Amino acid sequence: MNKKPHVAIVGATGAVGIEMIKTLEKRNFPVSKLTLLASARSVGKRLAFRGQEITVEELTQDSFAGIDIALFSAGGSISKEFAPIAAKAGCVVVDNSSAFRMDDNVPLVVPEVNPEDVKKHQGILANPNCTTAITLMALYPLHRAFGVKRIFASSYQAVSGTGAKAIEELERQVEQIVTKQPVTKEVYPHQIAFNVLPHVDSFLPTGYTQEEMKMENEGRKIMHHPTFRASVTCVRVPVYRSHSVAVTAEFEKPVTVEAARAVLQKSPGVDLVDDPENKKYPMPLFTSEKYNCEVGRVRMDCALDNGLCFWVSGDQLLKGAALNAVQIAEELLK
């Protein structure tokens, strides 16, 4: 791999694409050249990178000649079509969609958990689901110490997980309600302002949603833990940015709050914010635009043996997407 790679961002004008550009700049990623690719309707837009304006080009089958690393965040159908083309052109793809996550030939990576899997790529690497990534930042270090058997979790997912239009919808609806106008909805099936929707992604015949099953399926693959079980309810909440997850975990080994806190205190990428006496606990408001996730409310579970409850919050556009993708690219250069 070229030590000063030519990097492309596919889906550069989307919420995650913009965060990818900022993250490459902030982390001083050694980009020799940055190419921004998007659909025809975004062509000609200019985006700032290191004090220069870069013009967005149209994504075509010929876009990848000479590119070393391509960060994809343009949705599953674009990834399915263009990631194999990019890989064939000799480019390494880090894909943010769900298109390749469960493909046996594609490593699914959270660099704090399974960085060694990066080396096994055959041209494509996958970024996990945002809620799964944020949960694993707290769960994996505890798993290494105590051996997780299963979790029960509920998510509190921000609207920016759905995209820029969802942020606009929440803003618009709040204004409509405050000014006593009729509420209009386009993105979500129900009003999201002053409401919560127990509906993220599409429903499966089991009654779970696809998002809810990602925690178990992707968790097993990332942690190399084929018997891991996760029962999850995913909920969309009227928050702009940062997902939070309430987790109850059952472990093989006896666990104490002190031992768990000691493990979390020295885990990379996650900060222990756990001082309820002084009203300190993780919140989306304070984790937004931060690289690290936060974990707190650590306590023994009342209903399970060797059970621990905790609350984790993290910026799903960063650790859940753009930051994780750039960290994977950093691993490629090592």
3-class SS letters over 50-96: CCEEEECEECCCCCCCCCCEEEECCCHHHHHHHHHHHHHCCCEEEEC
d(CA 42, CA 319): 26
Name, in order, each residue with C-beta under 8 angstroms of 43's C-beta and a sequence gap of 6 or more.
56, 57, 58
Report yes or no: 291 and 283 within 8 Å, Cβ to Cβ: no
Closest by alpha carbon to 198, among 186, 206, 184, 188? Answer: 188
Cα distances (angstroms) measured from residue 170 to each of 233, 240, 248, 285: 22, 8, 30, 16
Catalytic-role residue among 6, 121, 143, 243? 243
Name, in order, each residue with C-beta under 8 angstroms of 302's C-beta and a sequence gap of 6 or more.
none
Catalytic-role residue among 130, 234, 293, 309? 130
Predicted confidence pLDDT, tens digits, the chain (334 residues):
889 999 999 999 998 999 999 999 999 999 999 999 999 999 999 999 999 999 999 999 999 999 999 999 999 999 999 999 999 999 999 999 999 999 999 999 999 999 999 999 999 999 999 999 999 999 999 999 999 999 999 999 999 999 889 999 999 999 999 999 999 999 999 999 999 999 999 999 999 999 999 999 999 999 999 999 999 999 999 999 999 999 999 999 999 999 999 999 999 999 999 999 999 999 999 999 999 999 999 999 999 999 999 999 999 999 999 999 999 999 999 9
pTM (predicted TM-score):
0.96
Is residue 130 flagged as an active site residue?
yes
Show the domains of the chain with their CATH numbers.
Answer: 6-128+321-333 (3.40.50.720), 132-316 (3.30.360.10)
Report yes or no: 63 and 38 within 8 Å, Cβ to Cβ: no
Is residue 6 flagged as an active site residue?
no
Report yes or no: 56 and 44 within 8 Å, Cβ to Cβ: yes
Q: Is 326 helix (H, G, I), strand (E, B) or coil?
A: helix
178 C-beta neighbours (distance < 10 Å), count = 9
DSSP string, 254-311: ---HHHHHHHHHT-TTEEE--BGGGTB---HHHHTT-SSEEEEEEEE-SSSTTEEEEE
How far is it between the farthest Cα atoms of the chain? 59
CA 250 to chain centre: 24
What letter represents residue 296's amino acid? G
d(CA 266, CA 144): 13
Bridge pairing between strands 270-272 and 148-157:
unpaired
